[in-house]
Amino acid sequence: MATLIRRRLALASGCATLALPLVAAKAQETRLPLVETAGLNPLNVDVGTHVFQGRQCVRLRLSEGRQRVVMQQAVGNGATMALLPGEYGNATIRVDIAAEVNGRGAPDSRGFVGIAFRSAANGDRFEAIYLRMTNGTLADPPPGPPRNVRAIQYISHPDFHFHVSRQASPDTYEKVAPVAIGRWFAFRIEVAGTTARAFIGDQKVLDVPDLRLGAAARGRIGLWVDDGTDGYFSNLSITPT
């Protein structure tokens, strides 16, 4: 009888051990150093490798055609990104991020750079949180009002761009952020159901209470830029939650 019990315990222990990798795989972190462009699918952007502030990284800027459209029609917040493989719903996204104004855009270009999530493969719908680097509290000289409270922004494409959100609920979808042009920052977005939180380092800078695509939405994650900006990306990680 004692031998039989030991065998059953051994089998139970073996089953538990076999189950552990399945749990780990469910929340497997994906890491991309972003020192090359392989696997990135560009939508209306030019993508290349670059060395910025001594760091090998990926650089994005609007394609020549898209930049021309933005200048002629004064439109932004569109599908201007490089999509990554895989689909995600709830996830924590971490990336080191930086930007420069490249002189190709409008005079009010702010160093628009961020992360898109839950995107369709063709970019017809997506959500994004992005930074306006020249509006950050670390900018020199610091921006005056109202720019100083418009350093980070949530949007949902195609029908909830920044100008719509400002009219619908001022100060809810854009906030102050400790950023500046020409410097690296650790950027983190936590997407959960209909909510998202964004952080610079360990400081929470935006809390979105009602993601427009809904709790069940899934899609691609993308590196995102806008008008007149060179965006730099390094050390990306994605953890499903």
CATH number at 203 reads 2.60.120.560
pLDDT tens digit sequence for 193-205:
999 999 999 999 9
What region does 171 belong to: left with phi over 0, alpha with psi -120 to 50, or beta? Answer: left
Which helix (H) or strand (E) segment holds residue 66: the answer is helix 64-73
Q: Is residue 8 assigned to a domain?
A: no
Which helix (H) or strand (E) segment holds residue 62: the answer is strand 55-62
Q: Is residue 4 assigned to a domain?
A: no
Q: Is residue 18 assigned to a domain?
A: no
Q: What is the mean pLDDT of residues 127-149?
A: 96
Q: Whole-angstrom Cα distance, residue 34 to residue 47?
A: 11
Name residue, tokens 């961020």. 114
pLDDT tens digit sequence for 49-87:
999 999 999 999 999 999 999 999 888 899 999 999 999
Q: Nearest-CA neighbor of 224 among 141, 86, 115, 83?
A: 115
DSSP assigned state of 211: -
Q: Is residue 21 assigned to a domain?
A: no
Q: Is residue 116 assigned to a domain?
A: yes
Contacting residues for 124 by C-beta, under 8 A, at least 6 apart? 79, 157, 158
Q: Between β-strands 185-192 and 55-62, what pairing exists: parallel, antiparallel or unpaired?
A: unpaired
DSSP assigned state of 116: E
pLDDT tens digit sequence for 213-231:
999 999 999 999 999 999 9
How would you class 96 by CB atoms within 10 Å of its CB: exposed for 0-12, middle for 13-18, buried for 19 or more? middle
Q: Is residue 207 assigned to a domain?
A: yes
Which helix (H) or strand (E) segment holds residue 23: the answer is helix 2-26
Q: Whole-angstrom Cα distance, residue 119 to residue 30?
A: 18
Q: Nearest-CA neighbor of 102 among 136, 133, 56, 139?
A: 133
Which helix (H) or strand (E) segment holds residue 176: the answer is none
pLDDT of 1 reads 42
DSSP three-state, residue 141: coil
For a pLDDT cut of 70, what percent of the chain falls above it? Answer: 89
pLDDT tens digit sequence for 175-189:
999 999 999 999 999
Considering its fold, how many domains does the chain have in total? 1
Q: Is residue 6 assigned to a domain?
A: no
Q: What is the mean pLDDT of residues 158-162?
A: 94
Print the domain residue range for 136.
29-240
Q: Is residue 24 assigned to a domain?
A: no
Which helix (H) or strand (E) segment holds residue 70: the answer is helix 64-73
Q: Nearest-CA neighbor of 44 among 72, 82, 73?
A: 82
